[in-house]
Structure 1
Amino acid sequence: MRNERLRATMTSRGMTSQALAEKAGVDAKTVERWISTGRVPYVRAAVAAAGVLEEDPVYLWPTLHRGRSARALSSEVVAVHEQRSQISPAQWKSFFESGNNHIDILVYAAVFLHEQVMGFNDLLISKAKAGCQIRIALGDAHSANVRARGLEERFGHGIETRCELALIHYRPVIGTKNIEVRTHGTTLYNSIYRADDEMFVNAHIFGVNAFSAPLWHYRKAATGTLIASYQESFDTVWGTAKAVGTE
């Protein structure tokens, strides 16, 4: 079974089997077998090759973390991170920069985006001016669900304040063509971040702050339904959310 992910990634990077082999320290025939037979390399070789291609090794070889003969994860799973905090500010910036048509954000506050990603509003405005449709759904600081989450995470009124702070952060982009900000009071089972065909989903665990909870990285694939399911969830919440004006 061919490894289409590896083949497509090499093509997009303009990388031949010989070039990848030389940079990763393996034989060219080995790389060709990775592609043509779907053979899963040893971890060290996989990490080296993925580094050359600037891609996550688990995306290129989904069974890598479960053994050389294990059944693959869903075709849409790129990586699973134990904590959201493992994603660096540079990775968040790169993620949103990859969105050219659609950027969606469903959170309660996620003020870390403005605190850690330098020029986050400028990034959004630049994308919007280029035609990207941006939808941002923030938690309503006065909703019962937001207050409940604060108590569950022992955050007290802190999460309500952070929702208000998030709205302050986004105020400068409100009114920009192609950017819409709304507030919602739904139970937030997962925070969803979308950039075109890629998605970060920050799972929520009872009593645990979001930065310490797992984060899934998905990429849309022809055979997968995960992104579609999360997108449907986002759209449902968006339909119930209240638009924020420029006042």
Structure 2
Amino acid sequence: MQGASNAEFVQLYPHRGAVSHDMWHRIVDDATDAIDILVYSGLFLVDNRPDFTDVLAEKASNGVRVRLLFGDPDSAEVKRRSEEEGIGVDGLSGRIRITLSYIAKVVGTPGIEVRLHDTILYNSIYRSDTTMLVNPHVYGSGAPFNPVMHLQRVPGGRMFDHYQASFDRTWEAGKPLETAK
């Protein structure tokens, strides 16, 4: 079991910016089965890739299940996190609203589901099939400044599935974007 867990761990990046643009692109481009993203805002995804929503729509049209989970910009948890990061009570909410304005283009696209969550977000999770990036959140520090773990699913491993279970629990508690407004 320990050997499998070691095999799951691919790389540790000191901060989100150290993850190559190529790796962020592969999370979407290489998906053949599923894309799962759990964030508060994820604004960097659309800022760094203007065709992000187009690629998601194309993937969905090819049978890839896309599940996107964003923080509810009106939730107490988002406001608190924003204050803890020192960006003002509405800083993070504003970033989420900007992201949602870009994502609105694909809301309702078959194969793409978008939900809002009001959880305390301990990790941002970006999964494509058997590849996962996990961005742990550190109190008082914004997500871009925190480490990122690159994991891969391997038989007998536990870490990948552990983080996937966290995504799935948050997904189940989330509200579809259309009804969350």
Q: Same fold (TM over 0.5)?
A: yes
Q: Flag the 1:75–1:136 CA change in 2: closer, same or farther, 3 A.
A: same
Which of 118, 127, 134 is the equivalent residue of 2:66?
134
Task: Indicate yes or no: 2:75 matched with 1:143.
Answer: yes
Task: Indicate yes or no: 2:147 matched with 1:235.
Answer: no
**Secondary structure of 1:208's aligned partner:** coil
Q: What's the Cα RMSD here?
A: 1.6
1:76–1:218 contact (8 Å) kept in structure 2? yes
Q: Which amino acid aligns with 1:83?
A: H
Structure 1 unaligned spans of 5+:
1-70
Q: Flag the 1:72–1:186 CA change in 2: closer, same or farther, 3 A.
A: closer
Task: Report which of the two has the higher share of strand.
Answer: 2
Which residue in 2 is equivalent to 1:170?
Answer: 103
Task: Determine which structure has greater relative contact order: mean sequence separation of CA pairs < 8 Å that are 6+ residues apart, divided by chain length.
Answer: 2
TM-score w.r.t. the length of structure 1 is: 0.69
Structure 1 residue 87: deviation in Å?
1.5
**Secondary structure of 1:217's aligned partner:** strand
Equivalent-residue separation in structure 2 for 1:73 and 1:243 (angstroms):
34
TM-score w.r.t. the length of structure 2 is: 0.93
Q: Flag the 1:148–1:221 CA change in 2: closer, same or farther, 3 A.
A: same
Equivalent-residue separation in structure 1 for 2:22 and 2:101 (angstroms):
23
Q: Which amino acid aligns with 2:142?
A: N
Which residue in 2 is equivalent to 1:116?
Answer: 48
Equivalent-residue separation in structure 2 for 1:149 and 1:234 (angstroms):
19
2:126–2:134 contact (8 Å) kept in structure 1? yes
Q: Report the count of equivalent residues.
A: 177
1:90–1:117 contact (8 Å) kept in structure 2? no
Task: Indicate yes or no: 2:16 matched with 1:84.
Answer: yes
Show structure 1 runs of 4+ deviating over 4 A.
none
Identity in percent: 38
Q: What whole-Å deviation, never above 9, does each CA across 1:185-205 have from its counterpart, x for those lacking one?
A: 000000000000110000111
Which of 192, 209, 221 is the equivalent residue of 2:154?
221
Q: Flag the 1:73–1:230 CA change in 2: closer, same or farther, 3 A.
A: closer
Structure 1 residue 88: deviation in Å?
2.8
1:89–1:117 contact (8 Å) kept in structure 2? no
2:5–2:158 contact (8 Å) kept in structure 1? no
Larger Rg: 1
Which residue in 2 is equivalent to 1:208?
Answer: 141
Structure 2 unaligned spans of 5+:
none
